A and B are shown apart, each in its own frame.
Chain A
Amino acid sequence: MPIRRILIANRGEIALRILRTCQRLGIETVLAASEADLGSEPARLADRTLCIGPAPSAQSYLKPETIVQAALGSGCDAIHPGYGFLSERASLARLCEDEGVIFIGPTSAQIEAVGDKLRARAEAIAGEVPVAPGGPAASLEDAVAMGKEIGAPLLVKAVGGGGGRGMKLVEDLAELPQALSMASAEAGAAFGDERVYLERFVSRGRHVEVQVLGDGAGRVIHLGERDCSVQRRYQKLIEETPAPGLSDDFRAAIRAAGVRYAERLDYRGAGTVEFLVDLDRQAFYFLEMNARIQVEHPVTEEVSGVDLVAEQIAIAAGEGLRLAQADIRLQGAAIECRINAEDPSQGFQPSPGTVREARWPSGEGIRVDTHIVSGSRVPPYYDSLMAKIIAHGADRAEALARLRKAIAETHIEGIKTNLVFHAEVLADPEFEAGGMDTGFLQRFFGRKAALAEA
């Protein structure tokens, strides 16, 4: 069924990103916007904007019934949920299924399957995708026995957690019983699900994820991997593709594992299978699957030349996979910096307000995904992502050189941003060498502090 009109149930740069592809494809757009976003660029550029509620997300962007009602009431065939908000809520996908509106994403059953950590892990094991040693424990005795087998340090993880939330590090096995009961109580309070499981703690790990596209009938292709190891408190700040320094065999194995995982679910649409690469053991373990388009998808688009949002729409419209694995040619390297309205000198505190002036970079190999122009507002109600600056080059060195120049060219007045932080990281020798583990930023901040004291 062809899609003629799409409701964009999101805001900010991703709403504009989706809108651009719709415009290119000749698809009409209806933007579902909160009261705080009625003056935004996406609202200005959409064919129609519907005010879905007041500024707080809980009363607007997080209401599945309102979103589906807005789609039905405005004659949309489909809903694109973007990332965050309702993108991975099975309730929205199910409501769409019930009402005959196309959900541009996986099925509600697939969202549920990957949303439950233990089920997601069980699917990985069944699909012969490596997982970190560990698992659920039926009793305290079992947990203690499993803890001995895994060895310390280990993690107690909440089944309902994810993205760095709901984890407890146990460095001494004697602390395990106490950590288990605490983690369970906390998980119950935070996620409404007390279940926890154990997993080996990887002290030196890299975050590597595989971009996949599935037709929903068992056929899956990959578009390479991304390295997202530059993280601050589990928040990704810089992402790149390909992941530097992996051997050809290792890279092929991790990509194949991502494809296997999605195949097992008969996955539909664009998704990302996340892995933790254990540098000490030269192994990789399944972390989770993200059943949506991701913030960092542009680096993959730059090296593959594939518009992932267009492929999402084609799959949702029933066209299946228009690309075979052999069609995917990954050329060069791409790196992305997330420009946030945050003040690095004040502990990365959010800095909402009005952007007096915004000058974004341009030039060969430079792409900027942003909804911010001079005069735009960054409301305090939502995340602080203002833009993604992406540089593509024939190799990593060229991409990095272009990105450094692009960051230096960027000029934002009126609010604080993390631009200076990015300039410093891109100039860091360890970043330049590539292939760092997720502890990189902590070492980077340590070096900075030491320099400041000297």
Chain B
Amino acid sequence: MQLDCTQTPDLMIVHVRETRIDAAGAIDFKDGMRDLTSADTRRVMLDLSHVGFIDSSGLGAVVAVRKFLGPDRPLELAGLTPAVEKVFRLTRMDSVFVIHGDVPAGAGSLRDVV
């Protein structure tokens, strides 16, 4: 599971460089997110613009990431593609997460590959 990271002074943007977060990759995703964020205290935004598909296991992994980040660093989401947006909406998880339409401009160019 390739996760790239962009750092700004108050925000860490994690770009998921995979087309799917599914049952076969959910644990990898969760572990990767834990490795990237556990030594940091900034807000975390997940860039899902490359992710064309998520299943319920992938959704569960995103919820798990939100939970281990804790209430003071609520996970934010950006760049939801239509299938991903559909899964969040049907499970009402769209009401739980702060969801941004786009990844902040310039975020990709600040890439710091992890």
* Interaction A to B: no
